[in-house]
Chain A
């Protein structure tokens, strides 16, 4: 039983990382109507920035963390303003190809600057385990879950109770009418891209200590995040979080107890989740069916 609970908590920890990146994908999908294939690479770049600050420049972990979030925010907004916005008017394929271009570009950039070696990243949380109700849980897992929960709560408060959050929601739901009531729609969309980059950065920095840092850090995590976002509904922030946690726990349990799957086949299982959800309930658990006017 204790083993089972440990697996669940470990699943929640990795699930919260997927949830964070899935939330980033959902934010961008709501704002721009595309899936950002470069989300994982943007997160990897942020993680490298944090790693350089702490390892090569002697910064303490949390100031570096905060600084990285600020840089990621500006970077995300800048990417939207410079390369995404001018291509939004064209076909969907055009924007998708731009995000794929970003994926290739950022991956190359990271390799160019930091090289391809695999690096160990120190964890910000004390090592060791905490005993809760007779179950030993690593501090790393608890810290990861707490950071993501705090982020989600802050975001939710912002969207629900601030004027800028309301404006962002309005810009995403109905840009034309939002513009009429004085919302600066393009800036709101850039803000969405910035916040998505922040969420990605958090996911990357939390994932790096347990999976090591290399230029392809987020490739698999991006697929899990895609699966989580699809599972919860690509337009639903709540869905992204629930989907991420469900997927994290589910994959961890399957990996631990189903011998056929083991550690190797977890990615194909996530792919299967994507396909099955898209076929059975394309809107996801929390999403709404899209009705298109012809």
Chain B
């Protein structure tokens, strides 16, 4: 029984991994770059889903943790000569530590108040970055383009005997990290930890009286999800080869939450759809209208509509379909 439960996730993951591996052979380098960004968003929303979907803590400030990761990488590369790929785990650690520390006061905040406090963090982050100019480059930001620490930015890099341009390199790098992150999240969430986190989400009082330490699991969820955001922010800085205070605006934080909701709260399977959605939405809505406000109108309306028809996101749709087919299957079988 336990083994049978593993078949679907393992097979679907393998399919995803194969699609990811062969895709660059079929699409242009420009598309590869776009899909690299999808992977970056995916990493961030996997992390956000651990916090919001599984633990029930709404965060409207994950863009700020991405900023922490992005700036950690940029500063390490530009000022300390650290090679880009080594800055990625460091960015995850720094952002994870920041998230863990923020998780401690956040223990006292529940529901709406947490949403509010994290929202305020996202709004004030650009101002803080601008203020500490000596460290962050202020409003001008930090330029990474063409520096030797950035792999493949000027000359192709050869990996396993294959010559990769910057965009292809970026694609493989971010998707490898995304897939590893996906597996780590899956392993974390399917065991006792995941059970404890879901218990915290469903009823704090009940979880506490069953011996689940709220403090431990909430701060853990904050730390883990901020670490994911930090890794995503680091990759984002590498991909754009440039960071400034507007690289990580409030809109990004909101977009990440949209991605999680579209993908399905408390589910990992739908998140790829969520990441594709938030990355390609601006492109798609250009087809409807060229005005700069159009993407927001479409995504806002869609988000509201989704709460009406599909509060569980794409994953909920898949689940519903699965239940339906199972019912049909059982009926024909009996």
Contact = CB atoms under 8 A, between A and B. Distances in A.
Interface of A: 34-35, 37, 83, 86-87, 90, 92-94, 96-98, 100-113, 115-116, 215, 219-220, 223, 226-227, 230, 264-265, 267-268, 270-271, 274-275, 278-279, 282, 294
A111 B294 CA distance: 8
B300 A279 contact: no
A90 B311 contact: yes
Contacts of A113: 293
B265 interface: yes
Contacts of B296: 104-105, 107-109, 111
Interface in B103-120: 105, 108-109, 111-113, 115-117, 119-120
B58 interface: yes
Contacts of B123: 219-220, 223, 267, 271
Contacts of B205: 294
Contact of B117 (A93, A104, A274): A274
Contact of A104 (B113, B127, B254, B311): B254
B117 A278 contact: yes
B60 A100 contact: yes
A227 B311 CA distance: 30
A137 B44 CA distance: 49
A122 B74 CA distance: 43
Contacts of A34: 112
B108 A112 contact: no
Contact of B128 (A101, A223, A268): A268
Given A108-B295, A110-B293, A226 B116 contact: yes
By size class, the interface of chain B is 35 or more
B53 to A, nearest CB: 9
Given A103-B254, A105-B296, A265 B128 contact: yes
Closest 8 CB pairs of A and B: A108-B296, A105-B300, A111-B293, A112-B293, A104-B300, A101-B303, A108-B297, A101-B304
Nearest to A109: B297
Nearest to B251: A104
A111 B290 CA distance: 12
A102 B300 contact: yes
18 contacts: A100-B303, A101-B301, A103-B254, A104-B254, A105-B296, A105-B300, A108-B299, A110-B293, A113-B293, A219-B250, A226-B120, A230-B113, A264-B127, A265-B128, A265-B131, A267-B127, A274-B120, A275-B117
A53 B291 CA distance: 23
Contacts of B301: 101, 105
Contacts of A104: 254, 258, 296, 299-300, 303
Given A93-B56, A98-B303, 12 more contacts: A83-B304, A90-B307, A93-B52, A104-B254, A108-B299, A111-B292, A223-B123, A223-B124, A227-B120, A267-B123, A270-B120, A271-B121
Q: Which interface residue of B56, B127, B293, B308 has the most chain A CB atoms within 10 A?
A: B293
A102 B307 CA distance: 12
Contacts, number: 138
Contacts of A274: 116-117, 120
A42 B186 CA distance: 40
A154 B115 CA distance: 32
A109 B293 contact: yes
B75 to A, nearest CB: 20
Given A96-B58, A265-B131, A267-B124, A87 B307 contact: yes
B112 A92 contact: yes
Nearest to A273: B120
A275 B105 contact: yes
B257 interface: yes
B253 to A, nearest CB: 10
A94 B304 CA distance: 9
A111 B105 contact: no
Contacts of A107: 293, 296, 300
A100 B254 contact: yes
B263 to A, nearest CB: 13
A252 B113 CA distance: 25
A116 B292 CA distance: 8
A97 B108 contact: no
A127 B111 CA distance: 45
B170 interface: no
B261 interface: yes
A111 B291 contact: yes
Contact of B308 (A37, A86, A96): A86
Nearest to B107: A279
B112 A94 contact: no
Contacts of A106: 300
Given A101-B304, A282-B108, A112 B127 contact: no
Contacts of B131: 264-265
B304 A278 contact: no
